[in-house]
């Protein structure tokens, strides 16, 4: 190394202990205070795990890129990098907003997906939201003079974008194929396909979350009916596999909510006796109300098209004091 290179590297080495501490703090804060609220929503697919830029990479970026850096230790803001991978593009902004408004750091957007699309609407390329965070002035863990150098770049991307980055970033854009036009064309086509796929995913989830759709409305009402018997029932305890399997019976034998409501009100005492722990976990699911409605009103259909384990249906017969073999 020449003198200039050694000077930059030595400054970077002196900063490393504080960079590591800041990286650990950022990851811990993200996981425990910001991302925790999204875990139940199945949004976060890969949690952050910071990495430090190595000496040689920092040195080449500091001294030999076309872009000049007056003060590399401050101006190069991805000395620490950490990554959050979410399910779909509409989740990126949700997570990004929480990071930007958090009080334990100063945060700014350094790369915006929407801005890139607006600037280059006819180009399909790698996309992610980049946010840089550094210690606030009130942070007593670091001397005020080094705080501007402790920058961590948080990248937020979707699973599809993450897959694209794994293929393209190190293998192509930083590898020997950077100028191979055929490979670059294939990458652009794959990114276009991924963007279209993400749009479909977002539309699907929007439809699934639409409370006005029949299934959503029906399920919501069934849960409310079930709270007559268990007022503390939480939607998080819903078994979707069982619920969806039973709900398919409504395609064979239609039922409206008013009929189910009337049935529950009429046979409330009987249902309350069945919905007891000794009768198993199935009766602890709201969709049991629909099953028992079919048991009392469409028993032949229920037995013929029963979608789950037959022993479970036999338990329903038993709970209703009825012999399974008689039908």
166 and 35, same structural domain? yes
Q: How confident is the model at residue 260 (pLDDT cuts 50, 70, 90)?
A: very high
* Domains of the chain: total: 2
Asked if 288 and 233 sit in the same domain, the reply is yes
| 194 and 268 inside one domain | no
The b-or-e profile of 140-170 (16+ CB within 10 A means b, else e) is eebeeebbebbbbbbbbbbbbbbebbeebee
SS3 105: strand
The residue out of 177, 207, 237 marking a domain boundary is 207
Task: Give the separation between CA 126 and CA 145, rounded to whole angstroms.
Answer: 35
Helices (H), the chain: 3-29, 55-64, 72-75, 89-101, 113-119, 159-168, 181-208, 214-226, 240-247, 249-252, 257-266, 268-274, 288-297, 299-305, 310-319
Domain identity same for 28 and 173: yes
Q: Is the pLDDT of residue 16 over 80?
A: yes
Q: Indicate whether this model's pTM tops 0.85.
A: no
pLDDT at 159 over 80: yes
Q: Do 168 and 42 fall within a single domain?
A: yes
Give 122's contacts (C-beta < 8 A, 6+ positions apart).
none
Task: Report pLDDT digits (tens) over 176-235.
Answer: 556 667 766 777 677 777 777 777 777 777 766 654 566 778 888 999 999 999 998 988
Q: Are residues 87 and 165 in the same domain?
A: yes
Which tokens belong to 276? Answer: 């007891």
> Is residue 38 predicted with pLDDT exceeding 70?
yes
The answer to whether residues 29 and 144 belong to one domain is yes
Q: Is 189 helix (H, G, I), strand (E, B) or coil?
A: helix
pLDDT band at 268 (very low <50, low <70, confident <90, very high): very high
Residue 323 and residue 327: Cα distance in Å, rounded?
A: 8
Closest CA relative to residue 148, chosen from 164, 162, 135: 135
Q: Clarify whether residues 15 and 132 are in a common domain.
A: yes
Q: Which domain, by its residues, includes 12? A: 3-207
**pLDDT above 50 (res 54):** yes
Among 155, 177, 207, identify where a domain stops.
Answer: 207
| 168/306 same-domain check | no
Residues of the chain with pLDDT > 70, as a percent, come to 85
Question: In what helix (H) or strand (E) does residue 278 lie, and over which residues does it extend?
Answer: none
- Mean pLDDT, rounded, for 37-61: 89
pLDDT of residue 126: 57
Q: How confident is the model at residue 122 (pLDDT cuts 50, 70, 90)?
A: very low
CATH number of the CATH domain containing 114: 3.30.460.10
Question: Are 190 and 94 within one domain?
Answer: yes
Structural domain ending residue among the three candidates 207, 239, 263: 207
Query: For position 282, what pLDDT does the model report?
Result: 92
Answer yes or no: do 226 and 188 share one domain.
Answer: no
Q: pLDDT band for position 302 (50/70/90)?
A: very high
pLDDT of residue 99: 95
229 plus 188 within the same structural domain: no
């Amino acid at each position: 190394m020449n003198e200039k290179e050694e000077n930059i590297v030595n400054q970077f080495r002196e900063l490393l202990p504080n960079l590591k501490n800041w990286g650990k703090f950022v990851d811990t804060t993200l996981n425990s205070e910001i991302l925790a609220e999204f875990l139940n929503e199945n949004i976060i697919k890969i949690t952050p795990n910071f990495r430090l830029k190595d000496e040689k990479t920092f040195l080449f970026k500091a001294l030999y890129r076309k872009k000049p850096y007056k003060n590399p230790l401050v101006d190069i803001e991805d000395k620490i990098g950490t990554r959050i991978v979410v399910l779909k593009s509409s989740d990126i902004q949700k997570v990004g907003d929480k990071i930007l408004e958090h009080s334990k750091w100063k945060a700014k957007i350094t790369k915006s997906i929407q801005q890139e699309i607006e600037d280059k609407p006819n180009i399909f390329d790698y996309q992610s939201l980049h946010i840089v965070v550094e210690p606030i002035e009130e942070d007593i863990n670091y001397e005020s003079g080094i705080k501007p150098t402790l920058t961590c770049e948080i990248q937020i991307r979707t699973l599809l974008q993450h897959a694209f980055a794994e293929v393209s970033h190190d293998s192509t854009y930083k590898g020997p194929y950077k100028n191979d036009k055929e490979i670059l064309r294939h990458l652009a086509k794959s990114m276009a396909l991924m963007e279209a796929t993400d749009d479909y995913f977002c539309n699907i989830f929007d439809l699934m979350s639409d409370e006005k759709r029949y299934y959503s409305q029906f399920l919501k009402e069934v849960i409310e009916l079930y709270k007559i018997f268990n007022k503390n029932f939480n939607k998080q305890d819903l078994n979707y596999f069982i619920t969806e399997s039973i709900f398919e019976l409504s395609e064979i034998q239609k039922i409206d909510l008013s009929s189910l409501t009337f049935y529950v009100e009429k046979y409330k005492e009987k249902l309350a006796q069945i919905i007891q722990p000794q009768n198993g976990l199935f009766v602890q699911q709201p969709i049991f109300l629909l099953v028992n409605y079919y048991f009392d009103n469409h028993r032949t259909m229920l037995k013929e098209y029963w979608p789950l384990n037959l022993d479970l249906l036999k338990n329903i017969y038993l709970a209703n004091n009825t012999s399974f073999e008689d039908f």
